[in-house]
A and B are shown apart, each in its own frame.
Chain A
Amino acid sequence: MRKSLLMVLVAVICLALLASGCAPEAQEEAKPQAEEKAAEEAVAKYPERPIQLVIPYKPGGATDIIFRLVCKYAEKHLGQPIVCVNMPGATSTVGSRHVKEARPDGYTLLGSHDVIATAFYSGVVDYAFEAFEPICLITSTPNIATTHSDYPWNTMKELLEEAKSKPGEIVWSTTFGSTDHFFILGILEAAGVSKDVLRLVGYEGTGPQLTALLGKHTHGCMANVASAMGHVEAGDLKFLGVAWESRLPQIPDVPTLKEQGIDFAHATNRGVFAPKGTPEGILKKIEEAFRKAMEDPECKAKIEEMGTLVNFKPREEYVKFLDELMKKYDKLAQMMK
């Protein structure tokens, strides 16, 4: 009996070791000159095999759908399939860390957004955009302050006025440490209101927040056209203000926050990232494929149907864009303290 027990354990351990041998390892070899040529060749031949794009969220969410869609179009221009892999968890850092530590050969990419900055500022991880090679920005989804139709406020300004007169009575839901947490703090700061006038309650993700709002357990949350439009059409929810420079085509009647005297714009900006040190030539090829995908009218139409704006920025512009973004989040992070 002992013997067979031992055999099982040995079998398990062998399996585990075997599988771990297949897992990507951190690159450690210093390249002699001969290998430099090989590296150049790798750039010229890229891509030779399928590319993995890590989505740091569960399947079915906006990030998942947008990247799966865009990759279907981008892979046509690369000649190799882009395989989307979901690695959800821990404010998206399970997936981002996997890519950060992957071999910088262009075969492991990350599709993510502003959460890379918020995860850093809320202390979940100690790295942000600088740990990656940003390739390109593809879309921006403007965020919208949303409430239930049964409540009296019609704009964010009205809601904040009431909040000031009775601090702590209006309940606003957020996912602490994620983009919507920074969204509400940004609004409060731009409106010049103390952050204590709202009672912030933590929920995990947008779906549960909308459910709580529909059941009138909370008073408001951040949403976007895709997640809340159906409820607005049905008369259950209403939009209080769009955090964007201009009004949105799908909801022309909803004023921007700026029109209400709250100078604050906030969108979820999705882009593609590669591990630090990926050769510039490979980055260029990926950028080119995504640029063509975002120019495809069919792809564009599908994204716009979801209430998201196509906002392509090539690598150079994207790097500058992210610098600005970090400054904005840095300011908001000071408020959280």
Chain B
Amino acid sequence: MEFLIQAAAEVFTAKVLALITLGALAGIIVGAIPGFTITMGIALTLPFTFGMSPIEGLATMLGVYVGGYSGGQISGILLGIPGTPSSICTTFDGHPMAKKGQPGRALALGVISSFLGGLVGAVVLIITAVPIARFALRFGPWEIFSLIVFALTLIASLGSKSLTKGLMAGAFGLLLATFGIDPVAGQLRFTFGLHELTDGFEFLPVLIGLFALPQMIDAAARGRTETKQVDSSFIEGSIQVPWLAGLREVLSQWVNLVRSGLIGCMVGALPAAGGVTSNFLAYDQAQKMSKHPEKFGTGIPDGIIASEAGNNGTAGGSLIPTIALGIPGNAITAVMLGALILHGITPGPMLLRHEPVLVYGVFIALIVAHFSMLLLQIVGLRGFLRIAKAPSFSLVPAVLTLCVVGSFALNNRFFDVWVFLLFGLIGYLLSRLGVPLAPVVLGLILGPLAESNLRQALMINPNPNLFFTRPISALFLGISLLSIAYSAWQIMRQRKRTLAETG
């Protein structure tokens, strides 16, 4: 308790509060720009923290982190292009809702869910960090592989319109994941003698290529006349952001909110998973538990709430192993650990005992960062809404420029811009053919994880039965079977219904 008061005294100073807010603002901006990642924002913050005290530095980074997760939805909802990989699922319902003329409602729902979902994650972090981190260590390659198998079954529900096309897209993503240096043995694969391909396809240019370029081609192809109609529906009656109505709507779905926040938090706590996986899992669970799963993807609040609560829950979750064990939960917390080491603080299980004030300070700063984010979004959203009104002829070139710059800035090499363009064309063709794009992304993200964990498991012990005899692993494989069965049953039911309707 005494530490808590000391920590509060350190955080609630004008300087630290200003730093958190500044961080959150920077986070929202990098999050909102397609092609710029939160990791990039945090890495840019790192040198500034050299001259700060540890708590000031960490508080600034937490601001960027929380702001970033909530910023990704802005372009996701308004343009249909996820600003960060962890807001892919927000576009599924957020963009259709915006197109229906309710961009303000979609954004309000997203921001409030981000805020509350993030708080769920923060509470779990504060109460149970140590036991959860210890439990997460029991996840060896067997358990992680089975979890990934479960996540891959989501492909079936993501491509629900046509299972075959969804599976094709997923397989295409998995194939892309095999390019470049092999994660376990270090051998080169499918590089075709191009040294740029040594590390395979960078994930981000592929993502924005697939999502942004087809959207922009469509926007341009709609032409001036059609755009006007869409524009007017955006302007009229929706420049207001219905905050109170949004809050009521989110709270009426509190089960979905808490479940998604918890899923985000738990996945964040696992080694190697992260915001993208939690985003998909939370969305999928919301859909499977829903009474009206067929409405997902048409622009209903449930999907936005699940996705945004899920990814902001990950912020607290990924801090669990970081604080409790000194193991970074993702690239972002890795940079935070680096900042600690630089200040001569050894991260690890002893951190809570050696530096209790700092740890409590981080907890308080995480919560404060959520309030800063909410405040900034309330002030700034009306400005962002103007994006929805922007005519295509100014929007399209602006977004494309940002995509190109973002692809380049990621690794500072031009090859990634070609990757962006290549996958933009592939994405356009695929969307024209009615092939869903999300499974491609899912395959590309989960492929390397599945591969390295499967191979590590078999290298440690060549006995494949361990996947079924280790309890947590068996549990995930069991849920995977249920997930597949559920999707099959849903497809059958849908088919019968359409048969009954037509026949």
Residues on A lying within 8 angstroms of B by beta carbon are 1, 4-5, 7-9, 11-12, 15-16, 19-20, 23, 54, 58-61, 64-65, 68-69, 72, 84-91, 93-94, 97-98, 122-125, 171, 175-178, 199-204, 207-208, 210-212, 214-215, 217-218, 226, 229-231, 233-234, 236, 302, 305-306
Closest to A304 in B: B344
- Asked whether, in the complex, the Cβ of B223 is within 8 Å of the Cβ of A4, the reply is yes
Min CB gap B21→A, angstroms: 23
B475 at the interface (CB under 8 A from A): no
B456-A203 in contact (CB<8A): yes
- Whether the Cβ atoms of B346 and A59 lie closer than 8 Å is no
Closest to B139 in A: A215
CA distance A85 to B412 in the complex (A): 8
CA distance A214 to B326 in the complex (A): 11
A15, A90, A176: residue with the most chain B Cβ atoms closer than 10 Å: A90
Contact flag A64-B338 (CB < 8 Å), given A19-B404, A217-B140: yes
**Of A4, A90, A122, A203, which is within 8 A of B220 by CB?**
A4
User: Contact between B456 and A201 (Cβ–Cβ < 8 Å)?
Assistant: yes
> Which residue numbers of B lie inside 8 Å of A, CB to CB?
39, 42-43, 46-47, 50, 137-141, 180-181, 183-186, 188, 195, 198-199, 213, 216-217, 220-223, 271-272, 321, 325-328, 331, 334-338, 341-342, 344, 346-351, 396-397, 400-401, 404-405, 408, 411-414, 417-418, 421, 424, 452, 455-456, 459-460
The complex places the Cα of A87 from the Cα of B416 at a distance, in Å, of: 12
Closest 5 CB pairs of A and B: A230-B348, A89-B199, A234-B349, A60-B334, A177-B186
Closest to B348 in A: A230
Given contacts A175-B186, A202-B459, contact A211 B413 (CB under 8 A): no
Instruction: List 11 A-B residue pairs with CB atoms under 8 Å apart, sorted by A's residue number.
Output: A12-B424, A19-B414, A59-B338, A72-B50, A93-B198, A122-B186, A175-B186, A199-B459, A202-B452, A212-B140, A214-B325
Tell me whether B341 and A226 are in contact (CB under 8 A).
Answer: yes
In the complex, the answer to whether A89 meets B460 with C-beta atoms within 8 Å is no
Is there contact, CB below 8 Å, between A59 and B46?
Answer: yes
Q: In the complex, what residues of A have CB within 8 A of residue B347's CB?
A: 230
Q: Given A214-B325, A218-B460, A302-B344: A58 and B198 within 8 A (CB)?
A: no
- Do A87 and B188 touch across chains, with their CB atoms under 8 A apart? no
Closest to A305 in B: B344
Contact A68 B186 (CB under 8 A): no
User: Assuming A15-B404, A58-B334, is B183 touching A204 (CB within 8 A)?
Assistant: yes
The residues of B that contact A302 with a CB separation of less than 8 Å are 342, 344
Q: Which residues of A contact B417 (CB under 8 A)?
A: 16, 19-20
Q: CA of A60 to CA of B39 in the docked complex: distance in angstroms?
A: 10
Smallest beta-carbon distance A55→chain B, Å = 10
Q: When chains A and B are docked, how far (Å) is the Cα of A84 from the Cα of B50? A: 14
Q: Please determine whether A69 and B341 come into contact, CB atoms closer than 8 angstroms.
A: no
Name B195's contact: one of A16, A69, A86, A97 (CB within 8 Å). A97
CB distance from B89 to the nearest CB of A (A): 25
B341 engages A11 (CB within 8 Å) = no
Q: Which of A72, A86, A215 has the most CB of B within 10 A?
A: A215
Say yes or no: A59 contacts B334, CB within 8 Å.
yes
- Name the residue of chain A whose CB is nearest to the CB of B216: A8
A-side contacts of B456, CB under 8 Å: 201-203, 212
Distance between A178 CB and nearest chain B CB, rounded to angstroms: 8
Contact partners of B404 in chain A: CB under 8 A: 12, 15-16, 19
Instruction: Give Cα A54 to B412, complex, Å.
Output: 10
Nearest CB on B from A122, distance (A): 6
Shortest CB distance B368–A (Å): 23
Q: A68-B47, A201-B456, A234-B350 are in contact. Are A217 and B141 (CB under 8 A)?
A: yes
Question: Which A residues touch B412, using CB under 8 A?
Answer: 54, 85, 87, 98
Contact between B411 and A87, CB atoms less than 8 A apart? yes
B217: chain A residues within 8 A (beta carbon): 5, 8-9
Chain A nearest CB from B37 CB (Å) reads: 11
CA distance A61 to B421 in the complex (A): 31
| Cβ of A19 to closest chain B Cβ, rounded Å | 6
Q: Which residues of A contact B181 (CB under 8 A)?
A: 90-91, 124
Give the shortest distance, in Å, between A175 (CB) and chain B (any CB).
Answer: 7
| Complexed CA–CA distance, A59 and B333 (Å) | 10
In whole Å, how far is B192's beta carbon from the nearest beta carbon of chain A? 15
Which residue of chain B has the shortest Cβ distance to A98 in the bound complex?
B413
Is the CB–CB distance between A207 and B327 below 8 Å?
yes
